[in-house]
Structure 1
Amino acid sequence: MFSPKAVYVHIPFCEQICHYCDFNKVFLKGQPVDDYIAACETEMKETVKQFPYKEIQSIYVGGGTPTSLSVIQLERLLKAIKNVYKPCEDVEYTIEVNPSNMVEEKLAVIKEAGINRLSIGVQAFQEELLRRIGRNHVEKDIYDTIDKARTLGFENISVDLMFGLPGQTVSMFKETLIKAIQLNIPHFSAYSLKVEEKTVFHQLQRKGKLHLPAEDDEVKMYELLMNVLLEHGYNQYEISNFSKSNYESKHNLTYWNNEEYYGIGAGAHGYVGGIRHSNVGPIKKYISLIDTTGRSANEQHIVTFEEKIEEEMFLGLRKLEGVSIERFINKYGKSPFDFFGKEIKHLEIQGLVEIVNGQMKLTRNGLFVANEVFEKFLF
């Protein structure tokens, strides 16, 4: 019996659109937010009816900008989630936070709802760079938000950082890392910029107006990221994620362990009952479909055995501990070598993967060309 242990709820509303973001999002003003929240609650209930759960271990409310909702709307959304999902006692319950719109009242509502982890979209500390990438917070907002959160008792705080941004230098990223470490928080996610279609940056790139750092400088930023965080006691447990002991993200590990999860909301992706699905993106269409059918899947795909094996490899290799050969055999009846023997041998010779204590994992050199490694595990 399928039994998802994780829930993702998508809130697509933003007060400002970041230039790099390709997630499903719309400007908040004039949107039917209350109808959207009601539709999300209906989708939660209908999905759970079809695919019941035994125990929910992680809930993640992302976006968009969930904290762009009013206090009343936020309270209503979190109450709806609580009405449907009965989390286990040590659940990891995360919400994404924008430093520019956090007030004590919103944080109090979040805390009261049982949320125990904040993911704060910092990205950088240089205000000129923040403006360049479309962020609407300033450096002071970062410190104020974390101070307010700590006052209310939040300890599990994660900060998102970005590198390879237009106009960003290696020294600027080093400054960002130094200031980030001084926050004394237990978790960082740090991503290199990827220019996606349907973003402001993509439009600028097509016009020849997007000036990105040289590839060598981006490599130096990633090396700096790994070295500096290691020096300050952070364990790199995934290509882009670093934590103090016992603060790894349970929710993201659900994805990397190739496990099932509910995906709720417009444009959300889910994986339940052996089926991956994506919901329709337009807000009004999502609400209409939910009101008439209770479901809003735009696409559904039954994951084949071969696809499960592919995903097990390239998702698992994102983790620094890699893919457990024993776990793979238990799930699929054969070893990874039975499916990808030649590819693995070749990657070992190149020094990009290694086998250590029954775990197949990327080497340090492999981390820099991870996507090229992952391609080798596609049938």
Structure 2
Amino acid sequence: MVRGVYIHIPFCHQICNYCDFNKVYFHKQPVDEYIEAVGKEMAMAVLNSPEQFANLETIYLGGGTPTALSPRQLDRLLELIAQHLSTDVLEFTAEANPDELTVDKLKVLRSGGVNRLSLGVQSFDGQLLKKLGRTHTNDEVYRAIENAMEAGFENISIDLMYGLPGQSMEQWEDTLEKALALNLPHYSAYSLIVEPKTVFYIQYSKGKLQLPEEELEAKMYERLMEKMEQGGLHQYEISNFAKEGFESVHNKIYWDNDEYAGFGAGAHGYIKGVRYSNHGPIKKYLQSIGMGQLPVLHSHQVTLMEKCEEEMFLGLRKNEGVSFKQFEMKMGFSMKEKYGEIINELKNEGLVTEEEERLKLTKKGRFLGNEVFQQFLLSE
């Protein structure tokens, strides 16, 4: 049963130097045709398996940049979502750029059922924003949040990044202080990963990208956890912090390894035990829809072994960890039966702990999360 829907809007007015998501420049793109195609894809998917979408909990508009669309285009997209799915869901999130989030767009989003905003802020340091390829200013962040609150949005999150080229601890602390001064209910903070096919990757491969040492990056993460706790936010996932009741329901679907649908060019989904991805190039995507076909490029039936691995490395990202009981109900055998030796080794190293019938990362384990996850991926 599909719990959540992700809808990909691949258009951007400015492409950031670190971004490896499926995206294109907005100019001269068939945006209106694309929106109609997404509507047709949703209609086909629901027609094929109406029972799968009967109890939808979340919708997430991501990108690219959904707020690159005009108010009219956003309104049409939301109209199609309401027509083929439902906008009456527990959580309906739209990603937004601060400098594109106009009052008119906020009104359209709110009236269309969106009840959560995720703003790509990344930093409050002007020099670092330029390095990232971001175009907004701090004043635009403050204005966007103020306008969003006036439009009726209470559930607002901002994304932050650390481990940036040339970033100092002082710059990171300043960003954290400015972010927490906003007193928002949710914050996400990610360390920079230099991905292939990005401007940063090209610079890095030429030795022209100066990144902080691992030790400094670890200290930045530690400071992040300290500051968030002091600000009254609890860490519920490796990179996410919230006030009680404002945890991201949609992202928790991923970490719970539950099923979701993905619509749009390059979108991914997981339905009936099958992981799939759509055609990324917009032309290919539109061609498939035009022929009355779902635009799936790849699909893969997840094996039991893969399901076990995903349950562990996704679930351990959450502070609540992985339930021994839920694991056995899903897999048909116990976690200890499958991973007992690995768990004991990780416990001896102080990386995981057993609490409340769950396996969890320790604080030390959060710093070495990828190394912990790898142990479950390499198991036979």
TM over 0.5: yes
Q: Which amino acid aligns with 1:176?
A: T
Does the alignment pair 1:134 with 2:110? no
Partner of 2:68: 68
Q: Which amino acid aligns with 1:318?
A: R
Does the alignment pair 1:283 with 2:282? yes
**1:139-150 map, 5 Å:** 139-150=138-149
Partner of 1:297: 296
Could you tell me how far apart the structure 2 residues matched to 1:54 and 1:109 are?
25
1:86 offset after TM fit, Å? 2.3
Q: What SS does the aligned partner of 1:355 have?
A: strand
Does the alignment pair 1:50 with 2:48? yes
Partner of 1:80: 80
**1:85-164 map, 5 Å:** 85-88=85-88, 91-164=90-163
What is the CA deviation profile of residues 44-86 of structure 1, one whole-angstrom value per residue up to 9, with x for unaligned ones? 1111222322211100000000000111111111111111112
Asked if the contact 1:51/1:272 (under 8 Å) is kept, the reply is: no
Partner of 1:310: 309
**Structure 1 regions of 5+ residues with no counterpart?**
none
Asked if the contact 1:267/1:280 (under 8 Å) is kept, the reply is: yes
Asked if the contact 2:87/2:112 (under 8 Å) is kept, the reply is: no
Partner of 1:32: 30
Q: Which amino acid aligns with 2:278?
A: N
1:330 offset after TM fit, Å? 1.3
Partner of 1:261: 260
Q: Which amino acid aligns with 2:37?
A: A
Could you tell me how far apart the structure 1 residues matched to 2:319 and 2:110 are?
32
What is the CA deviation profile of residues 272-329 of structure 1, one whole-angstrom value per residue up to 9, with x for unaligned ones? 1111001111011101111113311111000111111110011000001100111111
Could you tell me how far apart the structure 1 residues matched to 2:226 and 2:86 are?
40
What is the CA deviation profile of residues 197-227 of structure 1, one whole-angstrom value per residue up to 9, with x for unaligned ones? 0000000001110001111110110000001
How much identity, in percent, do the aligned residues show? 51
Asked if the contact 2:81/2:87 (under 8 Å) is kept, the reply is: no
Could you tell me how far apart the structure 2 residues matched to 1:336 and 1:42 are?
42
Q: Which amino acid aligns with 2:10?
A: P
**Structure 2 regions of 5+ residues with no counterpart?**
none
1:87 offset after TM fit, Å? 4.7
**1:203-282 map, 5 Å:** 203-282=202-281
Asked if the contact 1:55/1:86 (under 8 Å) is kept, the reply is: no
Q: Which amino acid aligns with 1:114?
A: G
Asked if the contact 1:5/1:54 (under 8 Å) is kept, the reply is: no
The farther-off stretch of 173-182 and 324-333 is: 324-333
Could you tell me how far apart the structure 2 residues matched to 1:118 and 1:198 are?
28
Could you tell me how far apart the structure 2 residues matched to 1:259 and 1:51 are?
17
Partner of 1:373: 372
Could you tell me how far apart the structure 2 residues matched to 1:51 and 1:330 are?
25
Asked if the contact 2:118/2:157 (under 8 Å) is kept, the reply is: yes
Could you tell me how far apart the structure 2 residues matched to 1:49 and 1:364 are?
46
Q: Which amino acid aligns with 2:43?
A: K
Could you tell me how far apart the structure 1 residues matched to 2:87 and 2:118 are?
19
Q: Which amino acid aligns with 2:39?
A: E
Could you tell me how far apart the structure 2 residues matched to 1:145 and 1:294 are?
39
Could you tell me how far apart the structure 2 residues matched to 1:327 and 1:275 are?
20
Asked if the contact 1:191/1:240 (under 8 Å) is kept, the reply is: yes
1:229 offset after TM fit, Å? 0.3
Q: Which amino acid aligns with 1:79?
A: E
Could you tell me how far apart the structure 1 residues matched to 2:271 and 2:304 are?
15
Tell me the number of residue pairs that the alignment of Structure 1 and Structure 2 aligns: 376
Q: What SS does the aligned partner of 2:78 have?
A: helix
Asked if the contact 1:11/1:63 (under 8 Å) is kept, the reply is: yes
1:160 offset after TM fit, Å? 0.2
1:331 offset after TM fit, Å? 1.3
Q: What SS does the aligned partner of 2:152 have?
A: coil
Could you tell me how far apart the structure 1 residues matched to 2:258 and 2:290 are?
29
Q: What SS does the aligned partner of 1:330 have?
A: helix
Could you tell me how far apart the structure 2 residues matched to 1:175 and 1:51 are?
49
Partner of 2:325: 326
What is the CA deviation profile of residues 317-358 of structure 1, one whole-angstrom value per residue up to 9, with x for unaligned ones? 000110011111111121111111111110010000010110
CA RMSD, Structure 1 to Structure 2 (Å): 0.9
Could you tell me how far apart the structure 2 residues matched to 1:282 and 1:136 are?
25
Could you tell me how far apart the structure 1 residues matched to 2:295 and 2:101 are?
31
Could you tell me how far apart the structure 1 residues matched to 2:86 and 2:329 are?
29
Could you tell me how far apart the structure 2 residues matched to 1:49 and 1:255 are?
24
Asked if the contact 1:42/1:294 (under 8 Å) is kept, the reply is: no
Asked if the contact 2:87/2:113 (under 8 Å) is kept, the reply is: no
Partner of 1:5: 3
Return structure 1 stretches of 4+ with deviation > 6 angstroms: none
Q: TM-score, normalised by structure 1?
A: 0.98
